[in-house]
Amino acid sequence: MALFLALVKLLDLGVAGVLDHCYEENEYGESGGNLMAYLHQETCDTLFLGASRVQNQVDPKIFGPEAYTLAYQQMHILYLTALVDILEQRKKLPKDALIVQIEVEDFLAGHDDRTLSDIHHLRYHYHENDYVRKYIQRQSKLEFLKYTFSSFRHNQRVLSLLSDYWQRKDQAIGIKGYYPLTGHLNKKDSLKDQPLMVEEKNLAPSPLAKSCLQHLQSICQRNQLNLIVFTAPLYKVNKAYREFSTYFASELKHRQIPYLNYNSDSLNPNYPIKYWYDTKHLNEKGAPQFGIQLKKDLKYYFNE
Amino acid sequence: MLFNSMFFGCFLILVLVGYWTLTQKHRWILLLVASYLFYISWNPAYLTVLIGTTLFNYSCSRWFLNSPNDSRNFYGMLLIIFVNLGALFSFKYLNLFTFESLSPPSWTGMEFSQESGFPIGLSFYTFQSLSYCFDLYRRKVPVEKHLGKFALFVAFFPQLLAGPIERAGKLLPQLNAKTMAFDLSVFGSGVGLFLWGLFKKVVVADNIANYLAPILNSETELSPENWLIAIYLYPFQLYGDFSGYSDMAVGMGRMMGIQLSPNFNRPYFAVSIHDFWRRWHISLTRWFSDYLFTPLALLWRNYGKIGIFLSILITFALSGVWHEASLNFLCWGLLNGCYLIFEQWIKLKWPENTFLRPLRILWIFHLVAFSFLFLITRDFEQSISVMKELPNVDLNAFGDILSLLKSSNLAIGVFLLLLVEIFLYERKAQLFRQQKIWLKGLVYSFLILCIVLFGNDAGSPFIYLRF
């Protein structure tokens, strides 16, 4: 039995060693590649952080040579906060500003399950990062047992990691993390496919999201970093969304975090349909327009 | 407490350590306590149903079925059937018209929405208790006088929730054995089977479920290409899920030195529908065959083929409804009954040819996969509309979906599953058993690594726990 366990451990360590190497070297894709591409660069001045609505809409070139975009598709506030924690641990936080795109829905308690499940995508950092470990263990008291297998940190992502590593390990997605979308929304879809909406039934705010925001703010304060939050524009929003946005804005104001909501009446650019890829994302024509607008609005905070 | 959870893993290790530390005389106590604790972890309230039916069956079997008086036996048996099926009916079917799946079509204007709870595993332990009573009535097994061991026979945790439905003649003598020595090779094979079951569940079934669930739960209309993919993938999900559960149960039994009956025998390698039903959910098929089909066929033997066909249809219809009280499950059962009747009726004789065999296997797989359409659709109306849509499949779009699946975890799972099944089909299992211990250890280590790397750790429940 002891020999069998030793054999399992040996195999586990061997496989984990190979996969760890691939993970650290690979700069392509969503299985850690985007983060590694960023970590392999020189430290930037300004970092834009978020999900696909940053990856596809925020071109760092517009903001100068020292800006960078780090984004993972479909990730929410907990994931972004953990990512910042990892950057701090690896001493790779930007020098001046951290500009984070946060969805208004992330602040709804009803979305907590989705938010919490994101943390498993950072399971590679389980052993090295306390914040990641804390939230992974929150899901089950016995979760730590799975991590006695060193290779479990690559669970469910082995194929994508290996294919990214072998095929395109040096080809990071886009330029400095920016990857524009080509194509545009057609009228039929704009009517049929409504953008993300806040459910009107349950508008209770999420304590989890609040604690994430607090953690994000404390990291920035500790590192004397400007933290600015924004919400990128959507093609359409409903009444409940607007109402909840007001709460979200007040929460950020209370914490003295500058906030730019491009779905509010004052900031909404009302881009025409030709600028949209779908109801949530701007295309390669709309993204630069949004970049210019964001740059102009950010200047206000930096000048202050 | 799911078999595929860390909590259950710890529970199993504790039980095994306790089991092999205690003497055989006291092991049943540990197993019974563990089984009830396991059941409580699901829903403490329904433990009363489990204990209640156990006490009732124990008492009736001793007072009525153990009597030399035939009429007392007969009425006792009727009472047992009435109470057991009554309990099953009350919890599973009384609210027949309250389940949405069984709601009458919208045009009737009737609407029912009330739902009631269901004691998990009730269908399985009721059938297991009934099989004991039937066998006792037929004098096939002796009466079990030890209440604790009878209770353990009903509630033995590895097979309590979803089978295999064991026969008293097989399980009770093992529970009553005076000695049971630890055998490393039996224990090792139990561990191997448990791991293989876990692999089928978390690598094959759950990865397919990850892909299929958003498609099948989608509120928008699905394209025929997506339905076709679902029809081909679901048989692997269901097989991985249910046979995975069964393998884990049999494996746990072996770890305790108790042999449970295998529930599956590579069903997708069946060469006829009859062959398929000898390989799929074997313990339930045998139950229905022994206690329903055979008596019915004997009763109607004077009607020739009509009697046999009617017995087949009734057996399959009830087997469908046993799974779930819905029109879709009834249709699934009836469709399989029709397949079997058609096969018997035309007495199709395939020439024994090595080259034709794969074709026969493929043909049967397609018939079975098609019947599963009733299990993945929302209701009967949707099943019919999907059948109408299927001929409109666009092969180009189908190719796009397939290329998406190619590099996913489910591809690895299905590939390894088929590889091992083919290996076993070629009767190489014996060859593996004869191998050196280090080679077996290497294979099991590889299996563990596959589970760790490709398994879905979300802890999804087993499909058959619904039934």
B441 contacts on A by Cβ (under 8 Å)? 3-4, 7
Does the pLDDT of residue A304 top 60, yes or no? no
| Distance of residue A71 Cα from the nearest chain B Cα, in angstroms | 22
3-state secondary structure of B366: helix
* Angle, alpha carbons A281-A287-A288 (nearest 5°): 175
The ipTM estimated for the assembled molecules is 0.81
Closest by Cβ to B442, choosing from A7, A143, A155: A7
Give the pLDDT of residue B62: 86
Decide: B245 and B201 in contact? Cβ < 8 Å. Answer: yes
Decide: B40 and B34 in contact? Cβ < 8 Å. Answer: no
Whose structure tokens read 């006088």?
B145
Give the pLDDT of residue A190: 59
Q: What is the 3-state secondary structure (H, E, C) of A282-295?
A: ECCCHHHHHHHHHH
Q: Cβ of B442 under 8 Å from any chain A Cβ?
A: yes
Tokens encoding B348: 């199709």
Comparing A159 with B312, the larger pLDDT belongs to: B312
At A127, which amino acid appears? H
Q: Which pairing describes strands A67-71 and A259-261: parallel, antiparallel, or unpaired?
A: unpaired
3-state secondary structure of B407: coil
Mean pLDDT (chain A, rounded): 85
Closest by Cβ to A142, choosing from B6, B445, B456: B6
Give the pLDDT of residue B95: 62
Give the pLDDT of residue B334: 93
Decide: A23 and A147 in contact? Cβ < 8 Å. Answer: no
Q: Cβ of A18 under 8 Å from any chain B Cβ?
A: no
Q: Cβ of B41 under 8 Å from any chain A Cβ?
A: no
End-to-end CA distance of chain B: 17
Q: By C-alpha distance, which of A11, A3, A1 is closest to B187?
A: A1
Residue range B419-434: average pLDDT? 67
Give the pLDDT of residue A202: 67
Query: How would you class A115 by CB atoms within 10 Å of its CB: exposed for 0-12, middle for 13-18, buried for 19 or more?
Result: buried
Catalytic member of B274, B281, B323, B366: B323
Give the pLDDT of residue B31: 95
Distance between CA B141 and CA B154 in Å, rounded?
15
Q: Which residues of A50-73 are buried (b: 16+ CB within 10 A; e: fewer)?
A: bbbbbbbbbbbebbeebbbbbbbe
Chain A residue at shortest CA distance from B185? A1
DSSP string, B255-303: HTT-PPPP--S-GGG-SSHHHHHHHSSHHHHHHHIIIIIHHHHHHTGGG
| Distance of residue B416 Cα from the nearest chain A Cα, in angstroms | 14
Give the pLDDT of residue B29: 94
Give the pLDDT of residue B250: 95
Tokens encoding B344: 């018997």
Give the pLDDT of residue B407: 55
Closest by Cβ to A15, choosing from B408, B412, B449: B449
* CB contact set of B36 (below 8 Å; sequence gap of 6+): B47, B50, B51, B155
* CB contact set of B272 (below 8 Å; sequence gap of 6+): B343, B348, B360, B364
What domains can be seen in chain A, in order of their start residue?
2-303 (3.40.50.1110)
Q: What is the pLDDT of residues A36-49, one digit of tens each?
A: 888 888 888 889 99
B449 contacts on A by Cβ (under 8 Å)? 8, 11-12, 15, 151
Best of B452, B456, B457, B460 to substitute, by most chain A Cβ atoms within 10 angstroms, is B452
Residue range B456-462: average pLDDT? 82
Query: How would you class B417 by CB atoms within 10 Å of its CB: exposed for 0-12, middle for 13-18, buried for 19 or more?
Result: buried
Own/partner contacts of B431-437, CB < 8 Å, gap of 24 or more, are B433/B189, B437/B188
Q: Cβ of A146 under 8 Å from any chain B Cβ?
A: yes
A163 contacts on B by Cβ (under 8 Å)? 407
Cβ contact, residue pair A11, B445, below 8 Å: yes
Residue A228 sits at φ, ψ, to 5 deg, of -125, 135
B323 is catalytic: yes
* CB contact set of A275 (below 8 Å; sequence gap of 6+): A184, A282, A283, A285, A286, A289
Q: How confident is the model at residue B260 (pLDDT cuts 50, 70, 90)?
A: very high
Q: Cβ of B185 under 8 Å from any chain A Cβ?
A: no
Distance between CA A186 and CA A87 in Å, rounded?
39
* CB contact set of B277 (below 8 Å; sequence gap of 6+): B285, B336, B340
Residue range B147-176: average pLDDT? 92
What are the distances in angstroms from CA A198 to CA A94, B74, B349, B358? 32, 64, 62, 53
Closest by Cβ to B455, choosing from A11, A143, A155: A155
Q: By C-alpha distance, which of A155, A170, A163, A167 is closest to A15?
A: A155
Give the pLDDT of residue B244: 93
Tokens encoding B50: 């489990």
Tokens encoding B86: 């009554």
Q: How confident is the model at residue A158 (pLDDT cuts 50, 70, 90)?
A: confident
Distance between CA A28 and CA A33 in Å, rounded?
4
Q: What is the pLDDT of residues A14-69, one digit of tens each?
A: 999 999 999 988 888 777 888 888 888 888 888 999 888 888 888 888 888 888 88
Distance between CA A114 and CA A111 in Å, rounded?
6
Q: What is the pLDDT of residues A247-280, one digit of tens each?
A: 888 888 988 889 989 888 888 888 888 888 888 8
Q: What is the 3-state secondary structure (H, E, C) of chain A?
A: CHHHHHHHHHHHHHHHHHHHHHHHHCCCCCCCHHHHHHHCCCCCCEEEEECHHHHCCCCHHHHCCCEEEEECCCCCHHHHHHHHHHHHHCCCCCCCEEEEECCHHHHEHHHHHHHHHHHHHHHHHCCCCHHHHHHHHHCCCCHHHHCCCHHHHHCCCHHHHHHHHHHHCCCCCCECCECCCCCCCCHHHHHHCCCCCCCCCCCCECHHHHHHHHHHHHHHHHCCCEEEEEECCCCCCCHHHHHHHHHHHHHHHHCCCCEEECCCCCCCCCCCHHHECCCCCECCCHHHHHHHHHHHHHHHHHHC
Q: Cβ of A142 under 8 Å from any chain B Cβ?
A: yes
Decide: B257 and B182 in contact? Cβ < 8 Å. Answer: yes
Q: How many percent of chain A have pLDDT more than 70?
A: 92
The DSSP symbol for B140 reads: S
Decide: B199 and B451 in contact? Cβ < 8 Å. Answer: yes
